[in-house]
Amino acid sequence: MNLLITGGCGFIGSNFIRQRLLEKGSAVKRLVNLDALTYAGNPANLADLAGDPRYVFALGSIGDADLVARLLAEHQIDAIVNFAAESHVDRSIDSPEPFIQTNVVGTLRLLNGARLHWAQLAEPKKAAFRFLHVSTDEVYGSLAPEAPAFTEAHVYEPNSPYAASKAASDHLVRAYQHTFGLPTLTTNCSNNYGPYHFPEKLIPLMILNALEGQPLPVYGDGRQIRDWLYVEDHATAIWTVLQRGRVGETYNIGGLNEQPNIAIVKGICALLDKKSPRADGNGYASQIKYVTDRPGHDRRYAIDCAKIQKELGWSPKESFDTGIEKTVDWYLTHRTWAEDITQKKYARERLGTNA
């Protein structure tokens, strides 16, 4: 299989690429990574794969129709996995337009390129071609405390510019399958965490701020609830959907780990107290600082992933306890990776939490 991965230098995309190329007996013949290397794209995530003859990096945007067409034809692409997206809610509140350009217009142009490429394929390649679009549970809106988790049939109620832009892209993918017959798949995931997570997001922000002696900013009362999915479990789920998912279907991918934000932060503090205690003997929880809540902050997300479990046999392997310990350990041993981002790209700004 020859794959085109978009946004492959980002958090989830780079973990997916690493899994596919490092897996023993991988079915991947060629993997092309198209990434515009905006602020969250980091080639260092994949630096150790640069010498793999199966791996090709292409600098550019999913909105560049000529580039997309060339890559699809030149590398005889069999499937596209679209990770490319602006994904930080705070940034979408500050400036919504880049989210529309990348998540909506960019996805539209990528779909156009995929449709033209697919239409000229000969059988059996045409029948086997797939376009998998990676989306978010935030398109469904916010859940009440006792409400059942989001299923694939839940109405779309996006509450942030980011969520609205992803909802629009989901609808475009559905429309291209229904109108043109393009063999598409969509996945909607819960909050990811794990290695290579960009430092502005909740979990890496808390780990790195704690180690640097900085405040640990928690929005509002910290009782916003999220379902947390270890990124390697997510990558496995995407590969499973790509191989065996039913064309035109949506699959929700969750970690079965609902946690309030404040519990996440306190849990990270407790792990760091054991693994890298403060020199002054105080606990890291003393650095927690409650800050003004984000506008329109959704109170709860939760994913019902019974469909992918029943149809495709996927379930998350990591509990939150095992996954968060692996994550903390990774950041403790990859301080240089994080420092390079904060110094060169992030200018040590702290935007607060994303959850």
Catalytic residue among 55, 140, 162, 301: 162
What is d(CA 21, CA 30) in angstroms, rounded to the nearest whole number? 9
Residue written as tokens 């790509």? 242
Q: Which two tokens stand for residue 317?
A: 């392997």
> Residues of 130-140 as b/e, b for ≥16 C-beta within 10 angstroms?
bbbbbbbbbbb
Q: Which two tokens stand for residue 56?
A: 């090709």
User: Taking a C-beta distance cutoff of 8 angstroms, is the pair 295, 219 a contact?
Assistant: no
Cβ contacts of 198 within 8 Å, gap of 6 or more:
10, 11, 40, 42, 204, 341
- Closest Cα to residue 252, out of 309, 206, 199? 309
Catalytic residue among 35, 138, 258, 298: 138
What is d(CA 147, CA 258) in angstroms, rounded to the nearest whole number? 13
Residue written as tokens 């519990």? 263
| β pairing state of 225-230 and 30-35 | unpaired
| β pairing state of 225-230 and 191-193 | parallel
Known catalytic residue: 137?
A: yes
Catalytic residue among 35, 64, 86, 137: 137
> Residue 290: which region, alpha, beta or left (left: phi > 0; alpha: psi -120 to 50)?
beta
Distance of CA 142 to the CA centre of its chain: 19
Known catalytic residue: 138?
A: yes
User: Taking a C-beta distance cutoff of 8 angstroms, is the pair 271, 206 a contact?
Assistant: no
Known catalytic residue: 140?
A: no
Q: Which residues are catalytic?
A: 137-138, 162
